[in-house]
Amino acid sequence: MRGLLLLLWFCLLMGGSAEESREVTLKFEVEPRHAEFRIQGTAEQTPFSPVEQPFVTKAALLEQGLVTVEFRAEGYEPTKRSYDLKAQAISESEVIVIPPQKGERPLQLVPNARKWILGSLVISSGLLLLGGALFLNAQRRKERLAELERTERARIPEEGVDDLIGRIVYNYELVEKLGQGGMATVYKGVRHDAPEEAPVAIKLVHSHLTKDEEFRKRFHREALISNDLRHKNIVTVLHASDERNRFYIILELIEGSSLRDLIPEKGLAPKEGLPLLIQVAEALFHAHKHGIIHRDVKPDNVLVRDDGVVKLSDFGLARSHQYTTVTATGSIIGTPAYMAPEQVKSEPLTELSDQYSLGVLAFHLFTGRLPFQDEDMMSIMVAHARREPPAPSSINPEIPVELEAVILRMMAKAPADRFPNLGLVIEELSRCS
């Protein structure tokens, strides 16, 4: 804890015109609760009292005019404040900060500390149980999907992953397998009746997922949202269908690599990375202006053509004001390494959540590493919610001060401390290039 915040609340009570009836009530809200205070005057001094107990001054103290309030707490420097009750107006919003003692200090059990420790243990236990429940639920779902996939492959062998080369999908012949993930396999397709036309990418959803209602909604949402977005830096959706219970999306084919594959161990130099980062920001800004939040911004979802043009892809987790969200309220979506603090806390997401993820992507792009490198998912999520990231220039000295300031502001914990919109981010990044 950086300091002890105490809120001093003075309420002046006037009872008739007699000076002796004037009283001042002092009430403190502090953390930790073991802090104490006392009132000192020229003629009288009260003993230290817990801050939880309101204190009413006596008329004698008021007649003196000048009183001093002294605060003390284990592990903190003693602090005093003086007030002239006759000449000085008392502010109801005054905040007194007591600095912690310098150096290491041993753990001491002070009044009410046992309650504080017990509360911390209860909260920690709850977080551990929640993390364990989330992990077990993910494992059960993974096992269920794996079992469904094994059953589906055994029952319909012609629907296998590697035996679709040569098949016709929506007038396109599958000629090459480009990649495979947990949700779908991507093929290169050419028009079987017009091979001179430009090839396309065909994303074929794994057959076992077509029976998952949540995934079906996600698939249709991705197709609808992507079809609404037409921008030079967003992958174009040409067609989508669930024909004969076979889900697929036909996309423009990007000849190039993912941004993750282009990030070297020590990160890209600013002159190389800034043009890429600005294009990602422009794609997101275009989506935001259409009421769409991506919610899964990361290098894997950024494709870079051989000519340097960036294409933002995978709007499967995106949320639009026009389409109902699939994810249940209170659940966590996205990729933990790039999640905004509000995303970790399952709070409502806004365009500023995408901005935070873009800041993490920029950190990764220019340093070659993520801001938080904990081994397990829960630790990374807690770090995004609570810890400040290191300065990017401490990892890559080539990062200029101006660029570092933009990255750190995008990664501000509070959304209100970030840029109001990505249009301003693009302007600042352009000045750095």
Identity of residue 327 = T
Contact 301, 261 (CB under 8 A): no
Tell me the C-alpha distance between 238 and 376, whole Å. 39
- Picking from 259, 233, 267, 258, the residue whose alpha carbon sits closest to that of residue 407 is 267
* 228 a catalytic residue: no
Tell me the C-alpha distance between 319 and 332, whole Å. 14
Residues 163, 242, 261, 296: which is the catalytic one?
Answer: 296
The residue count for the chain: 433
Question: Would you call 366 exposed, middle or buried from its count of C-beta atoms within 10 A (0-12, 13-18, 19+)?
Answer: buried
Cite the DSSP H helix spans in 309-376.
341-344, 351-367
Q: Give the three-class secondary structure for 159.
A: helix
Question: Would you call 256 exposed, middle or buried from its count of C-beta atoms within 10 A (0-12, 13-18, 19+)?
Answer: middle
Which strands make up the sheet holding 184-191, listed edge to edge?
A: 168-169, 172-180, 184-191, 200-205, 248-252, 237-241
- Picking from 25, 26, 24, the residue whose alpha carbon sits closest to that of residue 36 is 26
Residues belonging to the active site: 296
